[in-house]
Structure 1
Amino acid sequence: MPSSTVQPWTHGARLVDAEHTRFALWAPDARCVSVELADGQSLPMRAQADGWFVIQARCPAGSAYRFAIDDRLQVPDPASRAQLGDVHGPSLVVDPDAYQWQHPQWRGRPWHEAVIYELHVGVMGGYQAVQHALPALVELGVSAIELMPLAEFPGERNWGYDGVLPFAPEASYGAPEQLKALIDAAHGLGLAVLLDVVYNHFGPDGNDLQQYAKGFFRQDLHTPWGAAIDFRRPQVREFFIENALMWLLEYRFDGLRLDAVHAIDDPDFLQQLAQRVRQAAPPERHVWLNLENEFNQASLLQQGFDAQWNDDGHNALHVLLTGETDAYYADFAEQPTAQLARCLSQGFAFQGHANRHGKARGEPSGHLPPSAFVLFLQNHDQIGNRAFGERLNQLAPTQALHAATVLLLLSPMIPLLFMGDEVAAQEPFLFFTSHRGQLADAVREGRRNEFAAFRAFADAEQRQRIPDPNAASTFQASRPRPQPSQAEATRELYRSLLQIRHRELIPRLPGTRALGCQVLAEGALSASWRLGDGSLLRIDLNLGPHPVPVSADAAPPLCFEYPAQTFKHWCLGQLPAFSVLVLLTPGPSPTAPDGECP
């Protein structure tokens, strides 16, 4: 159980007034700590109870500083708000109120309105480049962007999950004020902005905490990234809760996506974080909290969190679209259609069911609303964790992929797109870093060895063809270079579907419940939902190469077919290959004229 000790200090450097800053460092393994300023001053910090060192000094915003530990080690502030250079350089004092917000009245959007577009700031060219791309995303129908992690990492190229200074936005992307300007501009366009945060580990390069604050970690418990973070300690809990509050209150992000919380062996911390966020945010603000959680802990979704990324739904769809059953897709090799049907009707495919290793995974989720699940066809993991970063449009028949896209964008679950989906991008999204020396060698070989479980890379010689994550060319190959002539047809499909979602579905989504999902044949199913206003939504989907018989009811007032003539065949009791039909029998809210098919 966590200690009852009250947290007396706020981590890091905080301005007291225009000329003075208070510095606080939790360093329970240190004998003495000093603040080293750029002008050569060395200011001894006062030792306090429970391992804290504190000082208030004349030090205005923009000043560079480090901490000197026991006169032997110089380190950046682990709660640095900005870095002068990289993770090994000095930290900077930041004035959190320096940026003048242009849209201070923004209060966010209700969760059921979310259409999320995940992107990597670095490959798009930095904060300003992302800002320039926002109008096109609004025109597409996106209502929220989600930024992959921004915590300062070593070098200039990284997915962001190797961050070691969680409070400092990555300097190679731009200044903190430029990040705030991006968020401000998004709000002016009606876009919510989410941030992916990593609270389950620190990256391997630049993490000095083990040298003066071993209490940050548990030596009795390990994760795939090393010793687990010890959330039993109040100082550690507060470090990450303060980080979440900084992003939401100071930077005005509209929500957070918590990475891999299954590696956080303390659900009580997650509940406390959600509670603190809800208490700190004004009641009129919409703040979104999402999880990635391999354990499928449905109970967390009733304890302050809005939704979880539905990997089960993705995995079932991927197997149906590509036929791939290697590695973790093996869990979906035998009954992918039934598993997808369970996702559409109950949320998770694995709700205590045994996985390929014979271990029970997940909790019952059928009582949760569809909006508690974020559905996607691709994301950074599912593309970038492929050896060559291929996208789904290069792996699946186009017509089948388009049919699955209709399901994604017109089902009551919350849809997430990955950058490039909407233009059928040909560029890969590869795993990239900019590590050096022995760490670079270890990452390169570790990356290649990960694919030994895939038949295509069982031979070590074949694995040598996998791109080196540290090569600049790997990063450059991942940068989007859309070709409008090839992209417009796909973009138009996304645009038209999102217009329907915003016009016909989103106003009806609150209160939606699933009515069930029937498997019609392998790769084909019929799912139904009762929307919040009493409307009936039905989606008949066939991802298989052969027509399947279907039960055709009376034609509803509103329908969407893909491809053309699907509705005609459906009326005759047949669902064509690679097709989907969306049928909406509206309730009391305004609808399109009878018989109209948008």
Structure 2
Amino acid sequence: MTARSHRMPFGATVLAQGGQGVEFALWAPSAETIVLEHRAVGSEPASLPMPRDAQGWHRLTVPEAAHGDSYSYRLSDGTRVPDPASRFNPGDVHGPSVVMDPRRFEWTDDAWRGRPWEEAVVYELHVGAFTEEGSFNAARERLAALAELGVTAIELMPLADFPGQRNWGYDGVLQFAPDASYGTPDALKALVNTAHSLGLMVLLDVVYNHFGPEGNYLHAYCPEFFNAGHRTPWGSAINFDGPGSRTVRDFFVHNALYWMEEFRFDGLRMDAIHAIHDETQPHIVREIREALDAGPARERHVHLVLENDTNQASMLMRDGKGLPVAGTAQWNDDLHHAVHVLATGERDGYYADYADDPVRRFALALAEGFIYQGQPSPFRHGERRGEPSTRLPPPAFVSFLQTHDQVGNRAFGERIHPLGDPLLVRAAMACLLLSPHVPMLFMGDEFAASTPFQYFCDFGPELAAAVSEGRRSEFGGFAAFADEAARARIPDPNAEATFLASKLRWRERGTRAHFSRLCEVQQLLSLRHRFIVPHLAGMAGAGIYRCDNDMLQVQWDLGPSKEGEGDGALAPRLHMLAYFGAQPAEGIALPPGELVYSDGASEHVGSLRLARGAVRVTLEALHGG
């Protein structure tokens, strides 16, 4: 058994192995005086002035302080604030922090070296809505079912401490403290430890582009943390490139390392990096990658997944050894949007960019990753979006039929299953899971969950009212919500009922319709792991596609399997055929190769008859001369 911790210049650091003696450190250059309010377990609080150095660090070592003690910082105006690098804040974002000695947790995963990225099948989940209990411990009990399904990585929506008892996580303000509504830091470590024992990677969604609107006290004593020269929807941008930015950058670099080293996460998903303002070189994303490569990645596989609306292929490029220079992969919204239009017929909002021939756009996304690779976007008033992505291997794209964003940002949080044509949704799922992209399921996808996933939060009264009104007004531009009565039916994000309605009902997995879907997904993932995954590591670039009369055909040259290297066999070719037309198609040429999967496609005298929603996948063996 092994104890692990990450040493950093921020926060409260327990000095002795037994949990005694604590060094407190706060960076606050604009504050002349900071008083540590320390309270040992079972004792009265003590007020201890903290010496300040020329760089604006306030530091104090308290020999009698120990694991479990509470503390906060008192500003000159009397305001008490939590530690921005708090490891645990059980009293929520306005309460005191608690000293944690991470070495007290005993890990049992010493043999774990992670998994290569090409093996990833990602399952995105919200800890609070994943189970009825909504805790780390309850989620841990469900991990074996995901591993049995064929999932190889779970991705947790953000955990940084947020205000109240429920939140998507993107309003976090204490970046190092797992939200106490889910359990203790040790409970989170136990979840990761168990996942590793089941062969599951664990990724964490982190938000480095803004702090939430409630509970962020940094403006009060450390304005240097923000750069007023860059404006964002959340106010001044985080200071990644202005005066004093070195310490701010270190804060987030250490945060990334902290989750990897102290909690043994296998990767991060960085939220909306297009909203990070950083004009320095290297960009903070690349600096984090370099820090990971110099640290935890020396011992195990560590991955960095990006969300980036600007489709910067340059952030996903590989070096001469085929290793990522920054992002391992990116969430591929383009593919999702094309599928959504194809399956549902919706064309509102950003879906308008994909309304023109969605079958062709789906084929393009499967073959090349991005659909927008520098072309003007009508939704963005003609602004060009994206960079060419054909040099990227398909595993550089995390693709999906839905995510928390695409479901939860709908007025009622509906999933694609009740919205779309069932045959087309089923076909799109088969295409996704049998493509060389890294597929991602949103919790409940695997059994077509009936529950919605709605936007929920738990802000203080004044902010709660503003969020509720803003949520309803943002849909005013849609025809379905043109009148006030229609908008009034949109669930209140702050109501507990909105959160409770979003919880998965695990008992559905055993009912007939849902169990059938579960078996289909399990079969597809089994085929993926058997036929496709062994050939993904050596892929060098995009596939090619054609699209005629609502039928797409895509082929990819895969990499050689490890077993086949050096025996004269070339990398095989994967062929995918899918039909989305209303009437059956006759006389379609048979794709070459060994049959991997076929549904809705029947052979007739050397050709195929395709029903609506048909999918056929073959693997063609190629040999040298």
Q: If the length of structure 1 is used for normalisation, what is the TM-score?
A: 0.94
Q: Tell me the amino acid that sits aligned with residue 371 of structure 2.
A: A
1:570 Cα deviation from its structure 2 partner: 9.8
Relative to structure 1, is the Cα distance of residues 515 and 89 closer, same or farther in structure 2, using a 3 angstrom cutoff?
A: closer
Give the aligned partner of residue 329 of structure 1: 351
Give the aligned partner of residue 595 of structure 2: 558
Relative to structure 1, is the Cα distance of residues 549 and 331 closer, same or farther in structure 2, using a 3 angstrom cutoff?
A: farther
Give the aligned partner of residue 52 of structure 1: 57
Q: Which runs of 5+ in 1 are unaligned?
A: 1-7, 589-598
1:546 Cα deviation from its structure 2 partner: 2.5
Relative to structure 1, is the Cα distance of residues 507 and 131 closer, same or farther in structure 2, using a 3 angstrom cutoff?
A: same
1:1-12 alignment, distance < 5 Å: 10-12=9-11
Give the aligned partner of residue 498 of structure 2: 474
Residue 585, structure 1, aligned to residue 609, structure 2: no
Q: Tell me the amino acid that sits aligned with residue 438 of structure 2.
A: I
Give the aligned partner of residue 596 of structure 1: none
Give the aligned partner of residue 23 of structure 2: 22
Cα distance in 1 between the residues matched to 2:586 and 2:481: 40
1:342 Cα deviation from its structure 2 partner: 2.1
Q: Tell me the amino acid that sits aligned with residue 141 of structure 1.
A: G
Q: Deviations over 1:229-248 (max 9, x none)?
A: 11120111011111110000
Relative to structure 1, is the Cα distance of residues 135 and 570 closer, same or farther in structure 2, using a 3 angstrom cutoff?
A: farther
Which residue of the other structure, out of 162, 173, 176, is the alignment partner of 1:167? 176
Instruction: Judge which range, 493-502 or 333-342, deviates more.
Output: 333-342
Give the aligned partner of residue 84 of structure 2: 78
Give the aligned partner of residue 294 of structure 2: 279
Is the contact made by 1:317 and 1:340 (CA closer than 8 Å) also made in structure 2?
yes
1:569 Cα deviation from its structure 2 partner: 5.7
Cα distance in 2 between the residues matched to 1:553 and 1:579: 13
1:109 Cα deviation from its structure 2 partner: 0.3
Give the aligned partner of residue 143 of structure 1: 152
Is the contact made by 1:520 and 1:550 (CA closer than 8 Å) also made in structure 2?
no
1:577 Cα deviation from its structure 2 partner: 1.3
1:107-122 alignment, distance < 5 Å: 107-122=113-128
Cα distance in 2 between the residues matched to 1:61 and 1:553: 67
Cα distance in 2 between the residues matched to 1:194 and 1:586: 34
Cα distance in 2 between the residues matched to 1:554 and 1:309: 30
Is the contact made by 1:550 and 1:570 (CA closer than 8 Å) also made in structure 2?
no
Residue 234, structure 1, aligned to residue 261, structure 2: no
Count matched residues: 578
Which residue of the other structure, out of 288, 298, 306, is the alignment partner of 2:328? 306
Give the aligned partner of residue 45 of structure 2: 40
Cα distance in 2 between the residues matched to 1:195 and 1:96: 18
Cα distance in 1 between the residues matched to 2:556 and 2:480: 41
Relative to structure 1, is the Cα distance of residues 226 and 71 closer, same or farther in structure 2, using a 3 angstrom cutoff?
A: closer
Instruction: Judge which range, 511-520 or 180-189, deviates more.
Output: 511-520
Cα distance in 2 between the residues matched to 1:282 and 1:376: 27
Secondary structure of 2:589's match?
Answer: coil
Is the contact made by 1:521 and 1:548 (CA closer than 8 Å) also made in structure 2?
no
Cα distance in 1 between the residues matched to 2:157 and 2:297: 26
Give the aligned partner of residue 141 of structure 2: 132
Is the contact made by 2:124 and 2:156 (CA closer than 8 Å) also made in structure 1?
yes
Give the aligned partner of residue 607 of structure 2: 572
Give the aligned partner of residue 541 of structure 1: 578
Q: Tell me the amino acid that sits aligned with residue 257 of structure 1.
A: R
Identity of aligned residues (%): 49
1:381-420 alignment, distance < 5 Å: 381-420=405-444
Is the contact made by 1:69 and 1:212 (CA closer than 8 Å) also made in structure 2?
yes
Give the aligned partner of residue 514 of structure 1: 542
Which residue of the other structure, out of 436, 447, 452, is the alignment partner of 1:428? 452
1:571 Cα deviation from its structure 2 partner: 4.5
Cα distance in 2 between the residues matched to 1:553 and 1:403: 18
Relative to structure 1, is the Cα distance of residues 569 and 173 closer, same or farther in structure 2, using a 3 angstrom cutoff?
A: farther
Relative to structure 1, is the Cα distance of residues 351 and 317 closer, same or farther in structure 2, using a 3 angstrom cutoff?
A: same
Give the aligned partner of residue 344 of structure 1: 366
Q: Tell me the amino acid that sits aligned with residue 101 of structure 1.
A: W
1:548 Cα deviation from its structure 2 partner: 3.8
1:221 Cα deviation from its structure 2 partner: 1.8
Cα distance in 2 between the residues matched to 1:214 and 1:477: 39
Q: Tell me the amino acid that sits aligned with residue 330 of structure 1.
A: A
1:335 Cα deviation from its structure 2 partner: 3.1
Cα distance in 2 between the residues matched to 1:555 and 1:212: 67
Secondary structure of 1:578's match?
Answer: strand
1:176-255 alignment, distance < 5 Å: 176-232=185-241, 233-255=245-267
1:333 Cα deviation from its structure 2 partner: 1.4
Cα distance in 1 between the residues matched to 2:620 and 2:162: 51
Give the aligned partner of residue 595 of structure 1: none
Cα distance in 2 between the residues matched to 1:99 and 1:474: 35
Secondary structure of 1:244's match?
Answer: helix
Cα distance in 2 between the residues matched to 1:441 and 1:554: 58
Cα distance in 1 between the residues matched to 2:110 and 2:54: 39
Residue 315, structure 1, aligned to residue 337, structure 2: yes
Give the aligned partner of residue 5 of structure 1: none
1:441 Cα deviation from its structure 2 partner: 0.5
- RMSD over equivalenced CA pairs, Å: 1.6
Residue 368, structure 1, aligned to residue 392, structure 2: yes
Q: Deviations over 1:89-146 (max 9, x none)?
A: 1101111111001212211000000000000001122101110001110110000100
1:544 Cα deviation from its structure 2 partner: 3.0
Is the contact made by 1:569 and 1:575 (CA closer than 8 Å) also made in structure 2?
no
Give the aligned partner of residue 514 of structure 2: 487
Secondary structure of 1:312's match?
Answer: helix
Is the contact made by 2:209 and 2:276 (CA closer than 8 Å) also made in structure 1?
yes
Q: Which runs of 5+ in 2 are unaligned?
A: 1-6, 318-324, 561-570
Cα distance in 2 between the residues matched to 1:499 and 1:221: 48
Relative to structure 1, is the Cα distance of residues 547 and 226 closer, same or farther in structure 2, using a 3 angstrom cutoff?
A: farther
Cα distance in 2 between the residues matched to 1:328 and 1:515: 26
1:205 Cα deviation from its structure 2 partner: 0.7
Instruction: Judge which range, 378-387 or 14-23, deviates more.
Output: 14-23
Which residue of the other structure, out of 376, 380, 395, is the alignment partner of 1:354? 376
Is the contact made by 2:591 and 2:618 (CA closer than 8 Å) also made in structure 1?
no
Q: Tell me the amino acid that sits aligned with residue 272 of structure 2.
A: A
Q: If the length of structure 2 is used for normalisation, what is the TM-score?
A: 0.90
Give the aligned partner of residue 292 of structure 1: 307
Cα distance in 2 between the residues matched to 1:74 and 1:16: 25
Is the contact made by 2:408 and 2:453 (CA closer than 8 Å) also made in structure 1?
yes
Q: Tell me the amino acid that sits aligned with residue 24 of structure 1.
A: A
Q: Tell me the amino acid that sits aligned with residue 335 of structure 2.
A: G
Is the contact made by 1:520 and 1:548 (CA closer than 8 Å) also made in structure 2?
no
Is the contact made by 2:38 and 2:46 (CA closer than 8 Å) also made in structure 1?
yes
Cα distance in 2 between the residues matched to 1:535 and 1:567: 24
1:11 Cα deviation from its structure 2 partner: 1.3
Is the contact made by 2:359 and 2:580 (CA closer than 8 Å) also made in structure 1?
no
- 4+ residue stretches of structure 1 with deviation over 6 A? none
Which residue of the other structure, out of 452, 472, 478, is the alignment partner of 1:454? 478
Is the contact made by 1:326 and 1:455 (CA closer than 8 Å) also made in structure 2?
no
Relative to structure 1, is the Cα distance of residues 220 and 554 closer, same or farther in structure 2, using a 3 angstrom cutoff?
A: closer
Give the aligned partner of residue 106 of structure 1: 112
1:252-263 alignment, distance < 5 Å: 252-263=264-275
Q: Tell me the amino acid that sits aligned with residue 362 of structure 2.
A: L
Cα distance in 1 between the residues matched to 2:103 and 2:253: 20
Q: Tell me the amino acid that sits aligned with residue 537 of structure 1.
A: L
Cα distance in 2 between the residues matched to 1:549 and 1:54: 76
Relative to structure 1, is the Cα distance of residues 265 and 554 closer, same or farther in structure 2, using a 3 angstrom cutoff?
A: closer
Relative to structure 1, is the Cα distance of residues 571 and 413 closer, same or farther in structure 2, using a 3 angstrom cutoff?
A: farther
